[in-house]
Amino acid sequence: MKFPVYVSVLKGHMPISNAEVTVDIENGNGDSKSLKLSDNGVGADIIENDGVYSGYIISTLIHLDGRHSTKVLVQGSNATVSEPVSKSAGIEDIVVDVKQMVLPRFERTTLSEEFYIEDYVAPLSPDQDQIPPSAIQSLALIHADNEQNKFTLSWRAVGDDLDAGTASYYDIRISKEYASLNDKTDGEKMVTNNLVPKLSGMVENFTIELLREENGTYYVAIRAVDESNNTGDLSNIVLISILTDLTWDKPNDGPGVPIILDNSKINVVVIGAIAAVLVVAFIVIIGVF
């Protein structure tokens, strides 16, 4: 069981970044659990630093059927907002310049929507973990070393349980067939790595070395795995092409037309980004000033 929570924190119509946002969830017996929300583009959060703080309510926060109330607490000790400082002449409401401003310390609390749980099923044991990590949505190639044929990937770490905690390891796969990699990673080559996952939301970097060949095209994807071997969904897929022939055409099984970035003839395309699917959610909008 999971459903996302979104809290929009605004100053006027401008999003506030670097706030601390917590949702308290209380059941009918008066028992409460807290959920910290994030604005880092990981898990339930779609866009980093857009002022919308997100998280998942999961089974570990729910212990019985019935009505549950929620309270949102927003605190800012080092929060910032992008204020418009100029507009385009003659064009109303078109902002052409913004300034990042640090806000005074603030605290806001609001009661939010209630939700109702039916047919709750408790885990067989308190230690039973059935919640996988979130899908990594930010996989990107940030550096290409043409001389050494090494490529550095970067992404935001996800958690042990969706976007909470720390995963145990990464399953990094590489393939020359887009269709098979997009379908599953089990049949593709695993990239050996000893990378220890960081806390959810932190930036990970990993360098792989590829064999040089004419017009070589590779697709790379990653999944996070927790200590119970629960495996997250496939990440977005990064395409790396080593072009030695300018007349090379795109592969038949992969989307998109490659673009030569520079004279090194290394082509990088990010494809297959995971779209957010909203099943059940509640959204809270909080105006700070």
DSSP lists the bridge partners of residue 84 as 98
In this model, does residue 28 exceed pLDDT 50? Answer: yes
Query: Exposure string (b/e) for 133-149, b if CB count within 10 Å is 16 or more?
Result: bbbbbbbebeebeeeeb
Residues 6+ positions from 36 with CB-CB distance below 8 Å: 20, 21, 22, 55
The pLDDT confidence band at residue 266, using thresholds 50, 70 and 90, is: very low
In this model, does residue 255 exceed pLDDT 60? Answer: no
**Secondary structure of the chain in HEC code, one letter for each residue:** CEEEEEEEEEECCEEEECCEEEEEEECCCCCEEEEEEECCCCCCCCCCCCCEEEEEEEHHHCCCCEEEEEEEEEEECCCEEEEEEEECCCCCCCEEEEEEEECCCEEEEEECCCEEECCCCCCCCCCCCCCCECCCCCCEEEEEECCCCEEEEEEECCCCEECECCCCEEEEEEECCHHHHHHCCCCCEECCCCCCCCCCCCEEEEEEECCCCCCEEEEEEEEEECCCCCECCCCCEEEEEECCCCCCCCCCCCCCCCCCCCCCCEEEEEECCCCCCCCCCEEEEEECC
pLDDT at 275: 29
pLDDT at 212: 67
Q: Between 213 and 54, whose confidence is greater?
A: 54
Average the pLDDT over each of 159-168, 183-192, 193-202, 253-262 and give the range with the smallest value: 253-262
pLDDT 10s digits, 147-192? 777 889 999 999 998 988 899 999 998 888 887 776 554 546 777 7
| pLDDT, the chain, mean | 76
In this model, does residue 276 exceed pLDDT 70? Answer: no
In this model, does residue 114 exceed pLDDT 90? Answer: no
pLDDT at 273: 30
In this model, does residue 225 exceed pLDDT 90? Answer: yes
Residue percentage of the chain with pLDDT more than 70: 72
Residues 6+ positions from 90 with CB-CB distance below 8 Å: none
In this model, does residue 257 exceed pLDDT 90? Answer: no
pLDDT at 277: 27
pLDDT at 270: 36
pLDDT at 186: 53
